[in-house]
Amino acid sequence: MHLIGGLCSSGCSWTDVCHGYIELAQQLGGQVGDVCQKDLGATLQTIIDSIVADASPVKLEYVPISASVGVAMDGAEIKRSRTNGFDYRASANSLVLINVKYKTGSEVVAAYKRWSQ
């Protein structure tokens, strides 16, 4: 994540905008946010989501069609949810388990469709 000033025309007093930062961040798989936003909440949530996704031990082998992802743990289906279940994070091609209880040695199985190459 790279925070850059003067992107959103929010009236920041930045006189110089460094060009090329947006493209550099995107080429490296990153995202950009503007430090001049009146509310940084959404940008901070994006940063937190990226950290959680990168830390997830459940990485997928292939890039799925996101809507097709289904997950089960120890034979029981886990619902897709950002508050109590699983979520797919494309930024790290990983699954995040949110408020899901598990034991050491639990088996997580993911099923999904992907585009053929």
Confidence label for 112 from pLDDT (cuts 50, 70 and 90): very high
6 CB neighbour count, 10 Å cutoff = 17
Cβ burial of 47 (10 Å; 0-12, 13-18, 19+) is middle
Q: Indicate if the pLDDT at residue 18 is higher than 90.
A: no
Confidence label for 22 from pLDDT (cuts 50, 70 and 90): confident
pLDDT recorded at residue 77: 96
In a domain, 103, yes or no: yes
Helices (H), strands (E): how many in the chain? 2, 8
Domain total of the chain:
1
- Structural domain range at position 113: 58-117
In a domain, 12, yes or no: no
Q: Indicate if the pLDDT at residue 5 is higher than 90.
A: no
Q: What is the pTM of this model?
A: 0.65
In a domain, 65, yes or no: yes
In a domain, 30, yes or no: no
In a domain, 32, yes or no: no
In a domain, 15, yes or no: no
In a domain, 93, yes or no: yes
